[in-house]
Amino acid sequence: MYLGVIRFSSLLIIVNVLVGCGGTGETRSPLLHLNMPQPIARLIHKVTPIEAVHTQSSASLRPVYLRGRVKQRIPLLNGWIYQLQDNTGSIWVMTPTPAPKVGEEILIKGLIHYEAIPVAGEDLGEHYIEEQEQIQQEKSDSAQ
C-alpha cells in the first residue's frame, strides 16, 4: 500500500509537470443536461462540485458523485488517470477500466483521496478520485 502511495505521488508530480497545474477556470460551455433514466436523474441533486472536493481536509470513505467533461487522459500500467472538469474546477480520477474519451461528459461515483506531497516544509498535496463506477457517459461532437 505504501509503495502504491509513493508511486501515485510521483505520478501526480509528473502529470503536473507535463500538463501544468491547471487552474479552476470555467469550461467554455455549460454542462449538458442529459436525457437520463429516472434512477440516474435522482442522483443529479447529489452531485458534488469539484471545487468542494478540493476544500475537504482529508479523504472520505463515503462515495461522491461528480459530473464533468474529460479534459485529458493518461494510460497507466494498471489502468488510467483522467482529468475531469466542471464549471468549478478540475480533478484527476484514477480508474482500472478504460478512461472515457476526451470531450465526453460523464457522471461518476468515486472515493475522495488526498495525497500529501511535502516539499520544503510545505504540503503541495492534491485530492484525487478513485473511480468506483461510471454511471453516465455522453459523447460530445469533439470527442475523439
Residue 101 domain-assigned (yes or no) = yes
**Cβ-count burial of 76 within 10 angstroms (0-12 exposed, 13-18 middle, 19+ buried)?**
middle
Beta partners for residue 123, in sequence order: 118
| Domain region containing 33 | 2-138
CATH number for position 28? 2.40.50.140
Residue 143 domain-assigned (yes or no) = no
Cell 461518476 found at: 108
Say how far apart CA 13 and CA 141 lie, in whole Å. Answer: 32
Residue 43 domain-assigned (yes or no) = yes
Q: Please tell me the predicted confidence (pLDDT) of residue 88.
A: 95
Quick: pLDDT tens for 101-143: 999 999 999 999 988 888 998 888 889 999 999 987 776 655 4
Say how far apart CA 131 and CA 85 lie, in whole Å. Answer: 15
- What's the number of domains the chain is made of? 1
Confidence of residue 96 (pLDDT cuts 50, 70, 90): very high
Q: Give me 40's grid cell.
A: 440516474
Say how far apart CA 107 and CA 134 lie, in whole Å. Answer: 6
Asked if pLDDT for residue 32 goes beyond 80, the answer is no
| Contacting residues for 38 by C-beta, under 8 A, at least 6 apart | none
Quick: pLDDT tens for 45-94: 589 999 999 887 677 778 999 999 999 999 999 999 999 999 999 999 99
Considering the entire predicted model, what is its pTM? 0.67
Residue 144 domain-assigned (yes or no) = no
